[in-house]
Amino acid sequence: MFLSLTTFFGSLALGVPVAFALGAVSIGYLLLTGSASLNVVATIIFGGMDSFPLLAIPFFVMAGDLATRAEILPKLIDFARALFGPVRGGLAHVNVASSMFFGGVTGVAVADTAAVGGTMIPAMIRDGYPRGFAGAITAASSVMGAVIPPSVAMLLIIYIMGGGLSVTRLFLAGAVPGLLIGVGMMIYVAATARRRNFPRGGEHWSLADIWRTAIPALPGLGLPVIVLGGILGGFFTPTEAGAIAVVYAVILGFSYGTLDLRAIISTLLSSAKTSAMVYLLLGVAKLVAWILVLNLVPQKIGMAIEPLIGSKEVFLLAVIAVFLIIGFVMEGVASMIMLVPIVAPMAKLFGVDGYHLALVVVMTVQIALITPPVSIGLYLVCPLAGCTVREVSLEVLPFIGVILAVILLVVFFPQVAMFLPRMLGY
């Protein structure tokens, strides 16, 4: 097993894609140990992809892409500007609020970064914000896209954990922590705006402006309401909700005159590529999980560390530390696929609720987007902001602190996240 781990990380260092590295190591392990026939490999990998709930992933990816192409975001930004613009550091607050609104539409943090960054970063730089700060707040606030429902990362972890968890309950559990991340970032902006002399976004609030911008923004804000409302009301499953979201985004795009057949075809192609990458990872992860279970690896690790861990909170802190370290060198989805099959069975030994674990992991892995050297979020914003990775990395540290503070709040006070699903009967 040690040789397999060494080979895996060595392959990553050489630039081998994660899915191929995992697959090669798994097949190599079976060949060397002879613990199972290679005839089972194709069946297990296909079984890892053959799941009706997983159809929700391409649907939500497609819905997010269509929402971006339909130009829903500018209307949400105008609404956020009317709400927060006049305060000192107004555009920074607008950036966070826009990510909060758009996160409820896309469900993907990277999509949030690219869409919001393309609009907000140039506007912030024109208003005199430091380039590094403009990039950092955009990348950091996009983390909400994977925490505020609907969330593709939550769909993935529910499938990886394989414990029959409810998508709706986990979606609801992410709502309050996601909003707390946004509020925490706004508090940090408010605390530093005067010290750093951030500009104001306008002279005064106007109810007329808020009303004028709210009307065009309502259809975009209605997308997550329809998705969650339909699921909660029992009108459709999460997979069907993804399909409804696609249809709704298409209708909005055509009504706005911002979508055409060429854009839809382009969305289909890009969504297919993204989904294929995720499915390949899931298929190979199923093979890895099967090998781990075959060798009782989670149970052996759990029994070895049990004397060192005195409570479920300490276990969750150890999980956070592991995912943070892995996040320095590996993208969030890949780290979930590799580590959750080990962590989930161990969590049961320490009495950790499956939803609690899933939420903590989803929140933690998003930090990988903004921690170098493998920081997709930072690499996306740097060209838009015209700054170096070092500049944006220094500015992003306080925002990482905010995210970690909310994660720790959820670890020690799980009712912060769980009261909403319980209140709604989940």
What token pair was written down for 388?
């170096």
Q: What is the dihedral of CA 377, 382, 388, 390, to 10 degrees?
A: -20
Structure confidence at residue 201 (pLDDT):
63
- Rounded mean pLDDT for each run of 10 residues along the chain, 426 residues in total: 69 75 83 79 83 80 82 81 79 85 69 77 86 91 85 86 82 92 93 85 73 85 80 81 88 87 88 83 81 74 73 91 84 81 85 92 90 79 86 92 95 93 84
The 3-state secondary structure of 85-151, one letter per residue: CCCECHHHHHHHHHHHHHHHHHCCHHHHHHHHHHHHHHHHHHCCCCHHHHHHHHHHHHHHHHCCCCC
The partner residues of 88 in beta bridges, in order of sequence, read: 200
Structure confidence at residue 184 (pLDDT):
95
- DSSP state, residue 372: S
3-state helix, strand, coil in the chain (%, to 5): 80, 0, 20
Residue 46 C-alpha from the chain's centroid: 25
What b/e readout covers 354-367, taking b as 16+ CB neighbours within 10 angstroms?
A: bbbbbbbbbbbbbb
Question: Rounded to an integer, what distance in angstroms lies between the CA atom of residue 69 and that of residue 219?
Answer: 15
| Whole-prediction pTM | 0.84
Structure confidence at residue 398 (pLDDT):
94
Question: Rounded to an integer, what distance in angstroms lies between the CA atom of residue 361 and that of residue 376?
Answer: 18
Enumerate the domain spans of the chain: 36-423
Distances (CA, A) of 17 to 10, 48, 222, 281, 369: 12, 18, 38, 10, 17
The answer to whether residues 214 and 100 touch, using CB atoms and an 8 Å cutoff, is no
